[in-house]
């Protein structure tokens, strides 16, 4: 552990002014990013946002158009991939079909001139619980087993950084959940920096310490899963990471560190510290599960809570742990509300009039912009 | 009714067997007549069983020399055409360059052009360049037409290969040379093997083009053609049958090894 910490101290991955364009198309805009050694870092974004290109530039499989890649103090920008202390778990694994599982895992060691690889290969295969399949060809393994071989093949080389390119994309949901925990466990065990590229926001949040949300070739926001979820700073992040109800609002005044807002004629409060916008106009956001929904007839709301009246339920979907309501607001916008199924109010059916209220601390303020940025991307990936 | 049902269930097998019979019948006749004891110079009618020809396959003047010439040409042209063709296939499959379309078209010419036309034009070419036709000119001609088939076979394989595999090898500390030897070449091997086998077969039994470019050199197909004018010794059948049996054995060994690898225990 102490050794790893020492290696870690100088093992940060730092990207400086890194960019990539193909002809007129810009895949990655100049980017500065430091990935701390020993962390589990996720690059999250929809397809085509530049996350895989960024990963490939760290691996050396793609030459950056501008900028540098440092691993620790070493500038590796000009190094070919086979000279970098980095290994990759590829999307669809890219296992060598002509080699056995054991030979796949031992490939990297042998290329570096390690004479006796058998012992290490065996230990590695035992770590991923595939020791009994060492002699098989990878094509005769299941998806989950192939995935573990790919991880073993990369980890056996004890790289400074392990890059994972959508490593779980080809697995079914149940196996994916299981492998997420497995990968997280391995990362904690070996203490190597993991850089994980994914389009699955749930996967990123489950596994990563730090997430960089990418959109259009740039990093939109960087932070811990909790930070990103509770305090998104752009409409894209608010919509791509989970769901958000966004409404345009005007700042009408300030009091005690709170912003007083006018949203479609409703007076709302938002702590100034919770707003990423400085101007007169902003977008107020609230997550669906933070909203309490009540029937119009018991319109008693505690003081100090934000409330929106006059909503009508247009759809109610029972999901088991919760019920998802779609509520049409008087100004035509639709709000989504998740309500835990503790005491279900049987009057809350489509057509019922409701009012919504929430703790102002749970809201967040964004720079005004496209309210639906990131919605299409998020739903497309969920499908 | 039972017969009709049986037919209905086995119609595919029956048609398959008929097709197989149609294709192997000539070979069986050749094999049978290699055991004939011909009455006279022509081995066209059954006269009696003997193993004379099998015991003495080189018993006819020039026959084994011609087989040797054919083998030398087939092996050389296979080696050269496979090496060149593999390189061309990788270039065409992997890279975009200016003459790519033209080369693709040119490669199809030897396959689509009638052999007679190609043979005649090659003969004219060598004559006008005052090159003495013989072993070398046959070799040049064979490499030329074998090349196309090798390129087609290897290119199909190259296009089907996942470029991620080579990236994975580079990522796992393999230098460019090691990537090629450890990953690219083994993955392309089935295509290269198929191309080489095709090249060998085409070169070994080519008659038309060889006839225009051979000068005084006599290959086995040319020997057979020449012999047919004067008489057909059963040794021709012996060598023909031997080639057939060897080819079938090679294919069978390949099959058995492949299926054994597939059934490999855990």
* pLDDT above 90 (res B140): yes
Of B165, B173, B187, the CB nearest to A108: B173
**Taking CB atoms and an 8 Å cutoff, what residues of chain A touch B190?**
none
- B106 and B8 housed in the same domain: no
Closest residue in chain B to residue A150, using alpha carbons only: B168
Task: For chain A, give every domain's residue range.
Answer: 3-230, 235-381
* pLDDT above 60 (res A2): no
Structural contact between residues A85 and A10, judged by C-beta atoms closer than 8 angstroms: no
Q: Do A107 and B174 touch (CB under 8 A)?
A: yes
From CA A2, how far away is CA A271, in angstroms rounded?
43
* pLDDT above 50 (res A1): no
ipTM, two decimals: 0.80
**Taking CB atoms and an 8 Å cutoff, what residues of chain A touch B257?**
none
From CA B35, how far away is CA B58, in angstroms rounded?
15
Of B165, B265, B266, the CB nearest to A94: B165
From CA B19, how far away is CA B86, in angstroms rounded?
33
CATH at residue B169: 1.10.3720.10
Q: Do A61 and B170 touch (CB under 8 A)?
A: yes
Could you tell me the two tokens for B262? 């597939």
Strand partners, A41: A195, A210
Structural contact between residues B92 and B154, judged by C-beta atoms closer than 8 angstroms: no
pLDDT bucket at A369, cuts 50 / 70 / 90:
confident
Strand partners, B43: none
Q: How far is B31 from chain A (nearest CA, A)?
A: 39
- B54 and B81 housed in the same domain: no
Region B4-30: mean pLDDT is 91
- B110 and B30 housed in the same domain: no
H-assigned helices in chain A: 2-9, 51-59, 101-111, 118-127, 143-155, 173-190, 201-207, 225-230, 235-240, 375-382
Q: Do A82 and B173 touch (CB under 8 A)?
A: yes
From CA A334, how far away is CA A326, in angstroms rounded?
6
Q: How confident is the model over B79-134, as pLDDT tens digits?
A: 999 999 999 999 998 888 888 889 888 888 888 889 999 999 999 999 999 988 89
- B227 and B243 housed in the same domain: no
Residue B266: what pLDDT?
Answer: 42
Fold of A235-381: OB fold (Dihydrolipoamide Acetyltransferase, E2P) (2.40.50)
Strand partners, A270: A259
Q: How confident is the model over A22-62, as pLDDT tens digits?
A: 989 999 999 999 999 999 999 999 888 999 999 999 999 99
Element (H, E) at B64: helix B63-94
Q: How confident is the model over A323-353, as pLDDT tens digits?
A: 999 999 999 999 999 999 888 788 999 999 9
Specify the DSSP class assigned to residue B133: P
Residue A379: what pLDDT?
Answer: 63
Give, in order, the Cα–Cα distances in Å from B6 to each of A36, B3, B17, B19.
73, 5, 16, 19
Q: Which of A275, A219, A180, A243 is nearest to A371 (CA)?
A: A243
Of B165, B171, B261, the CB nearest to A87: B171
Q: Do A111 and B174 touch (CB under 8 A)?
A: yes
pLDDT bucket at A5, cuts 50 / 70 / 90:
very low
Question: Which of B173, B174, B193, B262 to mutate against chain A (most A CBs within 10 Å)?
Answer: B173
Q: Which of B77, B57, B74 is nearest to B239 (CA)?
A: B57
| Chain centre to alpha carbon of residue A115 | 40
Contacts of residue B88, Cβ cutoff 8 Å, sequence gap at least 6: B103, B107, B147, B151
**Taking CB atoms and an 8 Å cutoff, what residues of chain A touch B265?**
135
Question: Which of A22, A60, A79, A81 to mutate against chain B (most B CBs within 10 Å)?
Answer: A81
- B175 and B67 housed in the same domain: yes
3-state secondary structure of A367: strand
**Taking CB atoms and an 8 Å cutoff, what residues of chain B touch A62?**
none
Give, in order, the Cα–Cα distances in Å from B60 to each of B42, B56, B223.
13, 9, 11
Specify the DSSP class assigned to residue A215: E
Of B164, B178, B187, the CB nearest to A90: B164
Could you tell me the two tokens for B128? 């006008």
- B54 and B70 housed in the same domain: no
Contacts of residue A102, Cβ cutoff 8 Å, sequence gap at least 6: A118, A121, A122, A125, A134, A135
- B4 and B37 housed in the same domain: yes
Q: Which of A312, A266, A316, A315 is nearest to A286 (CA)?
A: A266
Q: Count of domains in chain B?
A: 2
Chain A contact for B258 (CB, 8 A cutoff): no
Containing domain of residue B141, as a range?
63-232
* pLDDT above 90 (res A372): no
Q: List the end-to-end C-alpha distance of chain B, in Å, as a whole number.
A: 47
Chain A contact for B260 (CB, 8 A cutoff): no
Q: How far is B177 from chain A (nearest CA, A)?
A: 11
Q: Do B173 and A137 touch (CB under 8 A)?
A: no
**Taking CB atoms and an 8 Å cutoff, what residues of chain B touch A137?**
261, 264
Residue A4: what pLDDT?
Answer: 42
Q: How far is B50 from chain A (nearest CA, A)?
A: 49
3-state secondary structure of A90: strand
- B259 and B226 housed in the same domain: no
Q: Which of A237, A361, A357, A344 is nearest to A309 (CA)?
A: A357
**Taking CB atoms and an 8 Å cutoff, what residues of chain B touch A88?**
167-168, 171
Of B168, B173, B187, the CB nearest to A112: B173
Q: Do B172 and A153 touch (CB under 8 A)?
A: yes
- B95 and B218 housed in the same domain: yes
Chain A contact for B173 (CB, 8 A cutoff): yes
User: What's the CATH architecture for A3-230?
Assistant: 3-Layer(aba) Sandwich (3.40)
Entry pTM: 0.80
- B45 and B81 housed in the same domain: no
Question: In chain B, which among 177-216 make CB contacts under 8 A with chain A?
Answer: 178, 182-183, 186-187
**Taking CB atoms and an 8 Å cutoff, what residues of chain B touch A108?**
172-173
From CA A196, how far away is CA A182, in angstroms rounded?
14
Q: Do A82 and B165 touch (CB under 8 A)?
A: no
Residue A10: what pLDDT?
Answer: 62
Could you tell me the two tokens for B129? 């360049």
């Amino acid at each position: 552990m102490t050794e790893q910490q020492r290696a870690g101290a100088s093992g940060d991955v730092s990207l400086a002014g890194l960019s990539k364009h193909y002809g007129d198309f810009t895949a990655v805009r100049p980017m500065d990013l430091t990935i701390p050694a020993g962390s589990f870092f996720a690059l999250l974004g929809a397809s085509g946002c530049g996350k895989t290109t960024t990963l490939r530039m760290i691996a050396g499989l793609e030459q950056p158009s501008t900028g540098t890649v440092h691993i620790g103090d070493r500038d590796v920008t000009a190094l070919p991939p086979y000279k970098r202390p980095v290994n990759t778990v590829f999307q669809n694994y890219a296992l060598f079909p002509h080699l056995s599982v054991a030979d796949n895992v031992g490939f990297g060691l042998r290329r570096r001139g390690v004479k006796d690889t058998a012992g290490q290969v065996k230990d590695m295969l035992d770590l991923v619980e595939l020791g009994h399949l060492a002699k098989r060809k990878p094509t005769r393994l299941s998806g989950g087993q192939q995935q573990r071989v790919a991880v073993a093949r990369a980890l056996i080389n004890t790289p400074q950084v392990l890059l994972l390119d959508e490593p779980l994309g080809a697995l079914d949901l149940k196996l994916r959940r299981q492998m997420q925990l497995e990968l997280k466990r391995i990362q904690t065990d070996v203490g190597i920096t993991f850089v994980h590229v994914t389009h699955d926001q749930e996967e990123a949040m489950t596994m990563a310490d730090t997430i960089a949300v990418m959109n259009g070739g740039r990093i939109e926001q960087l932070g811990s899963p909790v930070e990103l979820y509770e305090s998104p700073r752009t409409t894209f992040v608010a919509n791509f990471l989970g769901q958000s109800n966004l409404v345009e609002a005007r700042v009408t005044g300030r009091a005690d560190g709170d912003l007083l807002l006018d949203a479609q004629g409703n007076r709302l409060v938002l702590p100034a510290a919770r707003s990423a916008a400085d101007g007169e106009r902003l977008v107020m956001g609230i997550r669906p599960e933070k909203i309490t929904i009540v029937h119009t007839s018991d319109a008693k709301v505690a003081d100090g809570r934000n409330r929106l009246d006059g909503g009508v339920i247009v759809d109610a979907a029972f999901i088991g742990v919760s019920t998802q309501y779609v509520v049409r607001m008087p100004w035509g916008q639709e709000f989504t509300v998740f309500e835990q199924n503790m005491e279900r109010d049987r009057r809350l059916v489509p057509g019922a009039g409701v009012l919504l209220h929430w703790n102002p601390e749970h809201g967040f303020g964004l720079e005004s912009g496209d309210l639906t940025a990131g919605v299409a991307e998020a739903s497309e990936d969920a499908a | 009714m039972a017969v009709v049902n049986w037919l209905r269930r086995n119609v595919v097998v029956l048609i398959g067997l008929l097709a197989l019979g149609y294709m192997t019948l000539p070979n069986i006749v050749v094999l049978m007549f290699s055991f004939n004891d011909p009455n006279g110079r022509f081995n066209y009618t059954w006269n009696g069983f003997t193993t004379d020809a099998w015991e003495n396959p080189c018993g006819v003047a020039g026959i084994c020399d011609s087989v040797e010439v054919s083998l030398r040409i087939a092996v050389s042209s296979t080696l050269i055409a496979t090496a060149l063709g593999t390189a061309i296939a990788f270039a065409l499959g992997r890279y975009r360059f200016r003459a790519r379309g033209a080369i693709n078209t040119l490669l199809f010419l030897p396959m689509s052009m009638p052999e007679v036309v190609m043979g005649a034009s090659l003969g004219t070419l060598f004559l006008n360049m005052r090159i003495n036709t013989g072993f070398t000119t046959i070799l040049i001609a064979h490499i030329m037409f074998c090349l196309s088939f090798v390129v087609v076979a290897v290119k199909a394989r190259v296009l089907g290969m996942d470029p991620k595999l080579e990236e994975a090898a580079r990522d796992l500390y393999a230098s460019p040379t090691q990537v090629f030897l450890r990953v690219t070449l083994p993955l392309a091997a089935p295509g290269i093997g198929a191309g080489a086998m095709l090249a060998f077969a085409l070169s070994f039994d080519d008659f038309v083009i060889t006839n225009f470019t051979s000068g005084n050199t006599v290959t086995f197909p040319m020997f057979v053609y020449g012999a047919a004018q004067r008489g057909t010794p059963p040794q021709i059948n012996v060598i023909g049958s031997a080639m057939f049996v060897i080819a079938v054995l090679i294919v069978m060994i390949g099959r058995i090894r492949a299926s054994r690898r597939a059934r490999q225990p855990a």
